[in-house]
A and B are shown apart, each in its own frame.
Chain A
Amino acid sequence: MPDLSRRRALTAAAALATAAGAQAVLAPAAGAAPAADATPQAGVEPSPGAMPSADPHHGHGMPDMPEPFDEVYKGRRIAGRPTTMGTGHEHHGGYGVFVDGVALHVMRNADGTWISVVSHYDPVPTPRAAARAAVDELEGARLLPFPAN
C-alpha cells in the first residue's frame, strides 16, 4: 500500500489485525494517530530545526546516544539523529534513522547493537550500519513510511 496516507494505512492495518484477533497489538500505533493528524507527512523526515537534540525520556539504562550522521551511501541519503519526533509507536531509543527522508524503523538491542525492520534478525554495531544494511537490502526500492514499516 505504498500510496496510502498514514491514516488510511493505520485503518487498513487495524482491520487486518482485527481479522487476526490482534486488536491490542495496534494500541501503540493508534497512539500515534494524533501526530498523523497534525502532520500529514508523519514518517517523513521533519526539518532539522524541529528536532530536539535529545530526549530525556528515552535511552533509560542505555549507553550514550549515538552521534548524528548524514551521508550519501550507494546513491541514497541516509541520516540519523536523536529525536523525540515523528514516528510515534516505534521504539528506537529516541534515535531516528531516515533513508531518502523516509523514517526507517530501527531498534537498539540490550548489548548496544542495532537492527532495522528490513534487517530484523541481524544486529549491527551502529545505527549508521543499520541504515547502510537497509540500503543494501532495498536494492534501490523505496522505503514505505510508518506504520507500514
Chain B
Amino acid sequence: MTVRKNQAALTADEKRRLVAALLELKRSGRYDAFVTTHNAFIVGDTDNGERTGHRSPSFLPWHRRFLLEFERALQAVDASVALPYWDWSTDRTVRAALWAPDFLGGTGRSSDGRVTDGPFAAAAGNWPVNVRVDSRTYLRRSLGTGVRELPTRAEVDSVLSIATYDAAPWNSGSDGFRNHLEGWRGVNLHNRVHVWVGGQMATGVSPNDPVFWLHHAFVDKLWSEWQRRHPGAGYVPGGGTPDVVDLHDTMKPWNDTTPADLLDHTRFYTFDTDG
C-alpha cells in the first residue's frame, strides 16, 4: 500500500528516487501529457458552464484521481515512489528543505524568474517547459512575491471547521468547505499557494512545476482531515445538477470513476498520519 509522507520527513534516498522518477516521466513525454490535461480543464471549467476539475464540487475528487494517475505513472518507473505532500502551513518559508538543491530547487532569480538550482533548473537540461502559454521554456518561480504569506494552520483549521461540503451554485461563488479550501472565497488556501509559488505554478500550466503534486497531495490530505472531522457530512450535490458532477456521475476525462468511488482515500493510499 502506498504511504504518502510529509515531504519534510523524506530521506535523502526517497528524495533521490522521486526526483529520478520525475525526470524519467519528463524524458519519456508522459509528464507533459499531465500538464496538457490540466490546462485543458482549467480553461474549460467555467462558473456558468460545464465544470469538473476546478471551481466545482468535483475539484477534490478530480484532483484525487489526477494525482493517482500521476502517482501510478511514477510507480511504473520506480515502484517504491509515493507522492509526498507539502504542508505549507508549517513549511512556510523559502528556507524549507523542500526548496533545497537536492529536492525541488529554490526560487527564481529576480531578472527573469528562472530557477537556477536543483534538478529542474533549465541549465541542467532535463526540464524543458514544453506545454506553455508563452515563449519561455525554463522553469520559473517567485516564492513569496505574488502574495507574501502562505496560509497559517489557524486559517486551515477555520476552513476545516466548515461543516458543509459544498453549496449551490456549485462554483467559485459558493459557500462551503470545498470553495474555501479551493480559495475563491474566504481566507483562500489552495489558490493562494499557487500565487505564492509564482512562475508557472500561478498559471493554467501549473503542473510544469513538480511542486504542483506536493501542493495538491496536501490539499487532498486536508479533504481527508475534513471527512474525519465531519463524519456525517459528505459530497454534494447528490444528483440532477446541470454542468456539475454529482456524487454518482462519472468524471471526465476518465469517464469510469465517480466522486463516490474516490471518497475513501484508504482504498488507494494512506497518509503517514493515518492510523
Residue numbers of A with Cβ under 8 A of B are 1-2, 13, 16-17, 19-26, 28-29, 60-62, 89-91, 105, 107-111, 117-123, 137-139, 141-144, 148-149
B34 touches A91 (CB 8 A): no
For residue B11, CB closer than 8 A to chain A, the reply is: no
Set A16, A110, A120: member contacting B173, Cβ < 8 A: A110
A20 touches B172 (CB 8 A): no
A25 touches B40 (CB 8 A): yes
A25 touches B252 (CB 8 A): yes
A141 touches B135 (CB 8 A): yes
Contact with A along B126-152 (1 / 0, CB 8 A): 000011111110000000001100000
Apart from A25-B252, A62-B48, what are 4 other A-B pairs with CB-CB below 8 Å?
A13-B40, A29-B40, A139-B112, A144-B135
Set B36, B41, B46, B133: member contacting A117, Cβ < 8 A: B133
Give the docked Cα–Cα distance between A138 and B134 (Å): 7
Set A22, A90, A107, A144: member contacting B133, Cβ < 8 A: A144
Set B37, B136, B194, B205: member contacting A25, Cβ < 8 A: B37
Given A24-B252, A109-B172, residue A19 in contact with residue B29 (CB < 8 A): yes
Set B37, B202, B252: member contacting A119, Cβ < 8 A: B202
A143 touches B195 (CB 8 A): no
Set B131, B183, B202: member contacting A16, Cβ < 8 A: B131
Set A25, A60, A120: member contacting B44, Cβ < 8 A: A25
Set B69, B132, B171: member contacting A21, Cβ < 8 A: B69
Residue numbers of B with Cβ under 8 A of A are 29-30, 32-34, 36-37, 39-44, 46-49, 55, 69, 112-113, 130-136, 146-147, 169, 171-173, 183-184, 190-192, 194-195, 202-206, 252-255
A118 touches B133 (CB 8 A): yes
**Residue with the highest number of chain B CB atoms closer than 10 Å, among A13, A20, A121, A144:** A121
Given A120-B42, A139-B113, residue A19 in contact with residue B133 (CB < 8 A): no
A91 touches B134 (CB 8 A): no
A23 touches B253 (CB 8 A): yes
Give the docked Cα–Cα distance between A45 and B34 (Å): 29
Q: Can you list 27 residue pairs at the A/B interface with Cβ under 8 Å?
A: A13-B40, A16-B29, A17-B40, A19-B29, A20-B36, A20-B253, A22-B37, A22-B40, A25-B37, A25-B253, A62-B48, A89-B44, A91-B44, A105-B43, A105-B204, A107-B43, A107-B46, A109-B55, A109-B172, A110-B47, A110-B173, A117-B204, A120-B203, A141-B135, A143-B133, A143-B134, A144-B132
**A-side contacts of B202, CB under 8 Å:** 118-122, 137
- Please name the residue on chain B nearest to A118 by beta carbon: B203
B133 touches A20 (CB 8 A): no
**B-side contacts of A142, CB under 8 Å:** 134-135
A110 touches B40 (CB 8 A): no
Give the docked Cα–Cα distance between A16 and B183 (Å): 29
Q: Closest CB-CB distance, A61 to chain B, in whole Å?
A: 6
**B-side contacts of A143, CB under 8 Å:** 133-135
**A-side contacts of B48, CB under 8 Å:** 60-62, 91, 110
Q: Closest CB-CB distance, B34 to chain A, in whole Å?
A: 6
**B-side contacts of A118, CB under 8 Å:** 133-134, 202-204
A117 touches B43 (CB 8 A): yes
Set A1, A21, A148: member contacting B254, Cβ < 8 A: A21
Set A16, A109, A121, A137: member contacting B36, Cβ < 8 A: A16
